Structure 1
Amino acid sequence: MVRQFPDDEERSRVLNLVTLVHRRDKVILRRLEASSSRSTDHVTPVASPECDIASLKSSVDSLRREMKSLVRELSSSLEELKEQVRGRDALLRCLEESVTSTAEDVTCIKCGLIGEASLSQPASDPARARQECVDAMMRKTQIVYESGVDGMRGLYERLYNGDECTACIIKFLSGNDRVRVMVDSDSYDIGRMKEKVVEMNGTQGKGSGFYAFCDYESETVYLGAKDCSDDREKAVCAWLAWALSQLSLKLVFCNEGTPYSKGDVEREREWMRAIEEAEERRKRGEGLDWSIDYALNGKTLNAKVCWLAAAVPSTIAYDGSTRGRAILQLQAPLLSLYSNYVMGTLLAKAKR
């Protein structure tokens, strides 16, 4: 095979390895035959035991030296092969990362009209991809009492453009047929759309006390969006991100709104550690962002971890990408947890 493929270095190395092993076996066999031959020769009266021992010792020493030489050559060849295997593994890892990255890009492109596959959408046209995602979200949105169409479109665009942590939510939800968003553009709260609410931790309240709310049972997000301008727009956008994030977690992980799949013990422990660290900071009197502080007030562990995950896009939506990320990085180890797992899962499972 080496003669047939003279340029294949791997075949040459394997041939070299086999040749060395063959040489080793021949040496061992030759020594064994010599030893056997001496044992079956006629006894010579003049031969002394000292001579036999010296001869045997010389043979053993010679064999040892030759074996050491062969072992060194074999070790060298094996190391070369190991290096090649390690190099190939590294190459495969790079290829896997490249494929994953490409898959995420394709997922973003697929975001678009319901029932219409847009895989042919070129990745170099992000404006069109954003437009299709926002259009899909607008079709899932029902605005009551006032028009407010332009205001809601502006909120979705702000979430899409602001940061990948908020954009991934829009990309995922825009392709899910079960999503509904109810908006009262003439009220600061959701009381006229939903009179009573039951929070994730079991607390009952009036809708008039909520700016936004995620109803898991009906898979509907409610939002009070009156006066979406200037600082008020930042607040409304943050509440919208808060509620949409909770719904996306419920739909993508199917585990009661938590940011990990059922049975994923490792991820669950990581979020528990994040809660513990944030609570320790609060006990020491360190200031926390309102969304993190709100999450820690949850009466159940599920409520705390779900709201803490929702605090990531909410903080970024209110404070902007740069400042929001800085706040999250400083106050709790949330950003890496969300970016490394939640965001990747949302993008991977986005239908369009």
Structure 2
Amino acid sequence: MAQRNNGNPSTNREIENALFEAVRKGFPVEYVDLLLEMRGYLDELRVEDLKEEKAPSTAHSGSRKVSSSGGTLLHVAVRRGNLAWVDKLLGMGASPTLHRDIEGYTPLTLAERMVELNPLDNTYKAVLSALRRVAVEVTSIRSGKEFLENVLAEIRTCQEQMRDNQKAGNDLIRELVENNALMVVRMETLFTTPLRILKSLESHATDLKQTVDIIKIRSDVDHEKTNCINKMMLKTMIKNATLDKIAYVKELYTNLYECDVLTSSLLHYLQSDDSFGVIIDCTSANIGGIKPQYKNIDGEVFTGDKDSIFADREENRVYLAALRTYFRDEIIMSRFARALAMLAINNLYHNEGRPYSVEDKGSLAAFQEAMAEAVAKRKKIPKSYKYVSWAVRMKTPLGREARLAAVPVEYVANFGSVQGRELMKDHVPMLLRFYEENVLPKLH
């Protein structure tokens, strides 16, 4: 390792200058500039390490071990909380997840650790956000690459089948021409086989076109879903986030997106709302750790340890407790869907959470009719289906309207699209029809 001569400052400077001059000619200008900028934190860097370091040009750039901690330049930048260095190294292609230091941390997990150690320092939080964004982009690129490779494989298979059929037809025609003695015997084949071959080729061409169309549709849908889920993840803060917690929250959004158009439309609407946000605690059965006190839509004040979900209309934010060992996934999904729906409807109509505009008398009449049906049928609905009874038990008219408007998404999120819709058609058909005809089109 290059050592400092503590007794002679000029010798120290000569050693530092020699360290960077030794590699200056073999590196891009921007990379050498970054090394010079970071030199105050790389006292133990060896000239041999930099000589072996390749110029950043691939996904592995900036990933060789260059310090006594066994980390990379990106580890050094993360540990110092220097966002400018982190952005430069990520721009050069450094990976947030590929290499580990001597303690076993990747740059991403090291950033999570630094946030835990410095919870009040926003610089470390900004560094973590930059690394997560690149990690998500890399994951999306890999998934897209695998999907395209599968598409190309299907297309190649169809092409090979077409070539085989064409070769078989050509071989038969060549045999008929070359064997005059068999011409009469095979006359019938001569007239019928090419027609069959042409029909077969036409059929394969049609199948190929349909396959390509289906692949294109699937590609567009998958891209739209991935883009929506990634945007929702960027709006979500996870308490004491780990890779496992991040994966679980992403799974939660994916299940909501794929459940039904009633739930996917909520994500599509909220992803473009810049002020909207979500805070999730995956280790608790209540929101006391992320929302100690709140006032519900009826104006009642509660402490966070009394509930697992809250839709804050003033902050435009959802607070969710999602401890899987305490709640079933279906319960977490239905509560989350309800809170998302209540905020989306509040922001859509600007009418204190009611599912209609002040001047829209037609929607008001239709919703009042649906409410009257729900109130009349609430005692006939089995007790195991409590969403309607919970809604009509709210203490104020505003609370009842806002809570009842979210019942359709609770049904599909808990029981699935098919069963949830069948139950609503049996329990509250007018409420389902109101949501589909009045709320859903506006969300789109």
* Contact persistence 1:239–1:314 (CA under 8 A): yes
Q: Which amino acid aligns with 1:224?
A: A
State the Cα deviation string for residues 30-56 of structure 1 (Å, max 9, x = none).
xxxxxxxxxxxxxxxxxxxxxxxxxxx
Q: Is the 8 A contact 1:172 1:346 kept in 2?
A: yes
The answer to whether structure 1 residue 247 and structure 2 residue 343 are counterparts is: yes
Could you give the per-residue CA deviations for residues 105-154 of structure 1, whole angstroms, max 9, x where no partner exists? xxxxxxxx9xxxxxxxx765101100000000000000003431111111
Distance in 2 separating the partners of 1:153 and 1:312: 23
Distance in 1 (alpha carbons) for counterparts of 2:433 and 2:293: 35
Q: Which residue of 2 aligns with 1:135?
A: 230
Whether 2:162 is the aligned partner of 1:162: answer no
Relative to structure 1, is the Cα distance of residues 336 and 284 closer, same or farther in structure 2, using a 3 angstrom cutoff?
closer
Whole-angstrom distance in 2 between the partners of 1:237 and 1:244: 10
- Normalised by the size of structure 2, how large is the TM-score? 0.49
Q: Which structure's CA Rg is the greater one?
A: 1
Unaligned runs of 5+ in 2: 1-136, 138-215
Contact 2:294 2:301 in 1 (8 A): yes
- Partners of 2:443 and 2:387 lie apart in 1 by 21
CA contact (8 A) 2:408 2:431 kept: yes
Q: Which residue number in structure 2 is paired with residue 74 of structure 1? A: none
**Residue among 233, 236, 246 paired with 2:329:** 233
Answer whether contact 1:292 1:308 (CA < 8 A) is retained: yes
CA distance in 2, matches of 1:164, 1:269: 25
Counterpart secondary structure, 1:324:
helix
Looking at structure 1, the residues matched to 372 and 384 of structure 2 have their Cα atoms a distance apart, in angstroms, of 14
Q: Does 1:199 align with 2:296?
A: yes
Q: Which amino acid in structure 1 is aligned with residue 364 of structure 2?
A: E
Identity %: 28
| Paired position in structure 2 for 1:300 | 396
| Matching residue of 1:64 | none
> Is 1:262 aligned to 2:355, yes or no?
no
In 2, Cα distance between the equivalents of 1:288 and 1:265? 34
Q: Distance in 2 between matches of 1:288 and 1:308?
A: 17
- Secondary structure class of the residue paired with 1:340: helix
Distance 1:155 1:284, change over 3 A: closer
- What is the CA deviation profile of residues 238-266 of structure 1, one whole-angstrom value per residue up to 9, with x for unaligned ones? 11101000110011111111111122112
1:70-103 CA-partner distances (Å, limit 9, x unpaired): xxxxxxxxxxxxxxxxxxxxxxxxxxxxxxxxxx
Residue 218 (structure 1) aligned to one of 315, 318, 332: 315
Query: Structure 1 residues 134, 228: closer, same or farther in 2, change over 3 A?
Result: farther
1:291 — aligned with what? 387
Gaps spanning 5+ residues in structure 1: where?
A: 1-112, 114-121, 348-352
Alpha-carbon offset, residue 196 of structure 1: 1.1
Letter in 2 for 1:261: S
Please report how far the alpha carbon of residue 328 of structure 1 lies from its aligned counterpart in structure 2 after TM superposition: 1.2
In the aligned structure 2, how far is the partner of 1:324 from the partner of 1:136?
27
Q: Determine the C-alpha separation between the residues in 2 that align with 1:276 and 1:247.
A: 23
Q: Secondary structure at the match of 2:222?
A: helix
The 8 Å contact of residues 378 and 388 in structure 2, kept in 1 or not, is answered as: no
Distance 1:311 1:282 in 2: 13
Give SS of 1:192's match: coil
1:188 is displaced (CA, Å) by 1.5
TM-score computed with the length of structure 1 as normaliser: 0.61
Name segments (4+ residues, structure 1) moved above 4 Å.
283-288
Q: 1:153 aligns with which of 227, 250, 258?
A: 250
Contact 1:151 1:228 survives alignment (8 Å)? no
Per-residue deviation at 1:189?
Answer: 1.4
Distance 2:352 2:369 in 1: 19
SS in 2 for 1:261: coil
1:203-246 Cα shifts (integer Å, max 9, x gaps):
221211211110001001000011279x7111111111010001
Aligned to 2:280, which of 183, 193, 196? 183
Q: Distance in 2 between matches of 1:216 and 1:295?
A: 18
Matched residue, 1:322: 418
3-state secondary structure, aligned to 1:334: helix
Q: Distance in 2 between matches of 1:187 and 1:199?
A: 20
Quote how far apart the aligned CAs of 1:283 are: 4.5
Instruction: Name the SS for the 2:378 alignment partner.
Output: helix
Give me the whole-angstrom Cα distance separating, in 2, the residues matched to 1:237 and 1:340.
Answer: 24
Instruction: Check the 8 A contact 1:238/1:317 in 2, yes or no.
Output: yes
Show the counterpart of 1:282.
378
Q: Tell me what 2:405 maps to.
A: 309
Q: Structure 1: how far apart are the matches of 2:325 and 2:437?
A: 32
CA distance in 2, matches of 1:189, 1:281: 32
Task: Please say if residues 381 and 427 of structure 2, whose CA atoms lie closer than 8 Å, have aligned partners that are also in contact.
Answer: no
8 Å CA contact 2:371, 2:431 repeated in 1? no
CA contact (8 A) 1:250 1:257 kept: yes
1:191 touches 1:208 (CA, 8 Å); kept in 2? yes
Q: Work out whether residues 143 and 149 of structure 1, in 8 Å CA contact, stay in contact via their aligned partners in 2.
A: yes
What letter corresponds to residue 128 of structure 1 in structure 2? Answer: H
Higher RCO (Cα < 8 Å, 6 or more apart): 1
- Letter aligned with residue 437 of structure 2: N
What's the CA shift for 1:282? 2.5
Secondary structure (helix, strand or coil) at the match of 2:365 reads: helix
Residue 289 of structure 1: how far off its partner (Å): 2.3
Tell me the equivalent position of 1:39: none
The 3-state SS of whatever aligns with 2:320 is: strand
